[in-house]
Amino acid sequence: MAPSLPPAASFDYAAFYCEENVLRLLSSPALAGRRAWALLVSNPGRSVAMRAQRAGRPPEGLVSWDYHVLAVALLEGPEGEAAYALDLDSLLAFPVRLADYLAGSFAAAADPAGRPLFRLVPAARYAAELASDRSHMRAPDGSWLVPPPSWEAPGGGRPSNLLDWIDMGKPSPGAVLDPAGLRAFAARPEAGDS
Catalytic residues: 18, 68, 87
What distance in Å separates the CA atoms of residue 63 and residue 56, rounded to the nearest whole number? Answer: 4
Helix (H) or strand (E) holding 63: strand 63-65
- Reading phi first (left if > 0) and then psi (alpha if -120 to 50, else beta), residue 78 is in alpha
Number of H helices, E strands in the chain: 5, 8
What distance in Å separates the CA atoms of residue 121 and residue 161, rounded to the nearest whole number? Answer: 14
What distance in Å separates the CA atoms of residue 106 and residue 92, rounded to the nearest whole number? Answer: 12
The strands making up 80-86's β-sheet, listed across from edge to edge, are: 96-97, 80-86, 68-77, 36-42, 117-122, 175-177
Q: Around Cβ 65, how many Cβ atoms within 10 Å?
A: 21
